[in-house]
C-alpha cells in the first residue's frame, strides 16, 4: 500500500528537521504495519524514504556535521549519523532484503558474526516469560536527540518478530516519557505487540493498548505539575525556546522532569548554560524549599528534577529494579517462572538483572557495552550473560532467534 508521500525539502531550521523526522515516523509506522502483515514495500514509499534521506544529506555542513538554525540569532551544528544511517539501512533492507542488510552490518562491525553467534548459542530454543529491555543504546542505536531517534523499519520488524514468537511478556523499559514527545512518538512497532514502559516503568501501555501508571501521593504530583507548568512557560519564551530543541529537550516524565541545558556539540555557550541551570534550580527551590520532594541531578547536559518516593531507607528515587517489580505485579508476570531475558547498556540498567534474578535464577542477560566495569557488573550478577559491543548485534541476535 502506498502512504502519504514525503517530498524532498530544504531543511534550514532545527524545527523543520524535527518535522521531517516526524514524517518519517508516520511513514515507517504505516509501512511496518503492512510489511509485518506480509505485504511487500511500495516503490513510492521507498522513494519517500529516499527523499527524506536526500533532504537530510542536503543540510549544509561538512565532515559529518550539519548546520541548522536554532533561533533567529544562532546556528547549531548537529551530527545526523543516527538519522542518516538508519534511513540508509532501511532503504537497503527494503530494496535488497534482509540478507543484504546483514551483510552490511557484518561490514560495518568488527566480529559481528562472532558476537551474534554467541548470543544465539546462549538463547536458542528458549521461550521467555519476561523479555525486559532498555531502548536507547540497547535495542536502538544511540541518537543524541531523543525526538529524532525514530526507530527504523528493519529494527521494528526484527524486534516485533522476536517479541511475538519468543516471548510471552515483551517489555521495553525506558527512562524517557511515554509521549508528547516520548517513546510512542519515536517507535514504529505494530501496536499491542510490546509493552512500552516509560518514565522507568511508572507509566506504561500494556498489550491491550491501555495506559496505566504508578500511584503517586496527590500532593507530590501537584508540586511536580506546578514545576512542569512553569518550565513549559519558560521554554515558550523566545530566549529559552532553544532548550526545548537541543539534546533531551524538555521531557515531562512520570515522576521526573528532564530539561536540556546543553547538547553533545556544546551549542550553548558555557556561561549561558550555567545561568539557565541556576534559573532551573531556583524554580525548583521555590516550589520545594525544604527539599522534601525533589532531588536534582545535573548531568552536564541535562538537569533532572526527580520526585522522591518512599523506599525502605527513607526517601529514594525510582530505579529500574523498582520498575521491574512494579511491572511484575501490575502485569501479573508471575516472574518466579522463567526463563527471562534482560537487556541494557548502562549501569542504570543493571538493577533490572538483580530484580529479575531475585524472581528467578533462570535469567539471561545481553548487555551492549564496551566498558569493562559494566561488563564485570553484568557477568557478576548473571552467570548466563553475553556482552556485545553494538545494538545492531543485539537486534540481529533477536531476529535470528525468531526465525
The footprint of Mg ion on this chain (CB under 5 A) covers a number of residues equal to: 4
Closest approach of Mg ion to the CB of residue 49, in Å: 26
Specify the residue, 86 or 345, whose C-beta has the smaller distance to Mg ion.
345
**By CB under 5 A, residue 136 contacts Mg ion:** yes
Stretch that binds Mg ion, among 100-108, 281-289, 339-347, 372-380 (CB under 5 A): 339-347
Round the CA-based radius of gyration of the chain to a whole number and report it. 21
Whole-angstrom Cα distance, residue 280 to residue 306?
Answer: 13
Closest approach of Mg ion to the CB of residue 402, in Å: 22
CB of 135 to Mg ion, least distance (A): 6
For residue 84, give Cα distances in angstroms to 124, 171, 302: 33, 27, 25
Which residue's CB comes closest to Mg ion? 137
Toward Mg ion, which CB reaches closer, 242 or 253? Answer: 253
Strand runs labelled E in 160-228: 167-173, 195-198, 203-205, 211-213
CA dihedral defined by 32, 37, 40, 45, rounded to 10 degrees? -30
Beta carbon of residue 138, minimum distance to Mg ion (angstroms, whole number): 5
Per CB under 5 A, which region of 54-62, 89-97, 136-144, 186-194 contacts Mg ion?
136-144
Measure the CA–CA gap between 173 and 211, rounded to whole angstroms.
14
Q: Which stretch binds Mg ion (CB under 5 A): 11-19, 137-145, 279-287, 366-374?
A: 137-145
| Contact status, residue 202 vs residue 326, Cβ threshold 8 Å | yes
Minimum distance from CB of 154 to Mg ion (Å)? 20
Cell 529516499, located at residue:
50
What the block records as the C-alpha cell of 25 is 515516523
For 4, phi then psi, to 5°, come to -50, 120
Contact stretch for Mg ion (CB under 5 A) within 75-83, 266-274, 319-327, 342-350? 342-350
Beta bridge partners of 172: 133, 196
Which residue has 525514530 as its cell numbers? 150
- Which is nearest to 122 in space by CA: 311, 308, 394? 394
Measured from the CB atom, is 79 or 136 closer to Mg ion? Answer: 136
134 forms part of the interface with Mg ion (CB under 5 A): yes
The least CB distance from residue 175 to Mg ion, in Å, is 8
- Residue 345 interacts with Mg ion (CB under 5 A)? yes
Q: Which of residues 36 and 142 has its CB atom nearest to Mg ion in the complex? A: 142
Q: Which of 9, 46, 85, 137 binds Mg ion (CB under 5 A)?
A: 137
Provide the β-strand partners of residue 386. 366
Residues numbered 182 to 241 that lie near Mg ion (CB under 5 A) are none
Min dist CB 230 to Mg ion, Å, is 29
- Using the structure block, give the residue that is written with the C-alpha cell 513510492: 44
Q: Which stretch binds Mg ion (CB under 5 A): 10-18, 63-71, 115-123, 129-137?
A: 129-137
Nearest-approach distance from CB 98 to Mg ion, in angstroms:
25
Q: Are 41 and 35 in contact (CB under 8 A)?
A: yes
Q: Evaluate whether 64 touches 81 at the Cβ level (below 8 Å).
A: yes
Contact positions toward Mg ion, by CB under 5 A?
134, 136-137, 345
Amino acid at each position: 500500500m502506498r502512504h502519504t508521500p514525503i517530498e524532498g525539502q530544504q531543511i534550514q531550521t532545527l524545527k523543520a528537521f524535527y518535522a521531517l523526522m516526524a514524517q518519517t515516523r508516520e511513514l515507517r509506522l504505516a509501512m511496518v504495519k503492512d510489511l509485518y502483515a506480509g505485504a511487500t514495500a511500495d516503490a513510492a514509499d521507498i522513494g519517500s524514504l529516499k527523499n527524506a534521506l536526500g533532504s537530510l544529506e542536503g543540510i549544509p555542513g561538512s565532515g559529518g556535521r550539519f548546520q541548522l538554525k536554532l533561533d533567529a540569532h544562532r546556528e547549531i551544528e548537529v551530527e545526523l549519523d543516527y538519522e542518516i544511517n538508519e534511513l540508509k539501512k532501511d532503504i537497503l533492507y527494503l530494496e535488497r532484503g534482509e540478507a543484504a542488510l546483514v551483510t552490511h552490518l557484518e561490514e560495518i562491525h568488527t566480529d559481528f558474526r562472532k558476537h551474534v553467534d554467541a548470543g544465539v548459542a546462549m538463547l536458542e530454543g528458549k521461550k521467555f516469560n519476561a523479555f525486559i529491555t532498555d531502548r536507547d543504546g540497547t535495542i536502538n542505536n544511540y541518537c543524541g536527540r531523543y525526538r529524532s531517534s525514530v526507530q527504523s523499519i528493519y529494527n521494528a520488524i526484527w524486534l516485533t518478530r522476536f517479541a511475538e514468537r519468543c516471548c510471552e511478556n515483551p517489555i521495553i523499559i525506558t527512562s524517557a516519557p511515554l509521549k508528547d514527545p516520548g517513546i510512542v512518538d519515536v517507535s514504529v512497532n505494530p501496536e499491542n505487540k510490546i509493552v512500552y514502559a516509560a518514565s522507568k516503568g511508572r507509566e506504561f501501555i500494556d498489550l491491550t493498548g491501555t495506559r496505566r501508571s504508578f500511584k503517586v501521593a496527590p500532593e507530590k504530583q501537584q508540586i511536580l505539575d506546578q514545576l512542569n507548568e512553569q518550565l513549559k512557560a519558560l521554554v515558550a519564551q523566545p530566549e529559552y525556546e532553544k532548550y526545548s530543541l537541543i539534546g533531551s529537550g524538555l521531557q515531562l516524565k512520570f515522576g521526573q522532569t528532564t530539561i536540556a541545558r546543553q547538547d553533545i556539540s556544546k551549542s550553548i555557550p558555557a556561561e549561558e548554560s550555567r545561568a539557565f541551570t541556576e534559573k532551573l534550580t531556583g524554580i525548583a527551590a521555590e516550589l520545594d524549599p525544604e527539599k522534601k520532594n525533589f532531588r536534582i541531578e545535573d548531568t552536564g547536559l541535562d538537569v533532572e528534577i526527580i520526585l522522591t518516593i518512599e523506599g525502605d531507607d527513607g526517601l529514594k528515587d525510582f530505579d529500574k529494579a523498582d520498575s521491574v517489580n512494579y511491572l511484575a505485579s501490575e502485569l501479573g508476570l508471575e516472574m518466579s517462572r522463567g526463563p527471562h531475558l534482560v537487556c541494557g547498556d548502562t549501569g542504570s540498567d543493571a538493577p533490572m538483572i538483580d530484580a529479575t534474578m531475585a524472581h528467578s535464577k533462570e535469567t539471561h542477560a545481553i548487555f551492549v557495552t564496551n566498558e569493562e566495569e559494566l561488563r564485570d557488573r553484568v557477568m557478576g550478577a548473571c552467570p548466563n550473560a553475553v556482552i556485545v559491543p553494538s545494538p545492531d548485534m543485539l537486534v540481529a541476535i533477536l531476529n535470528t532467534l525468531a526465525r
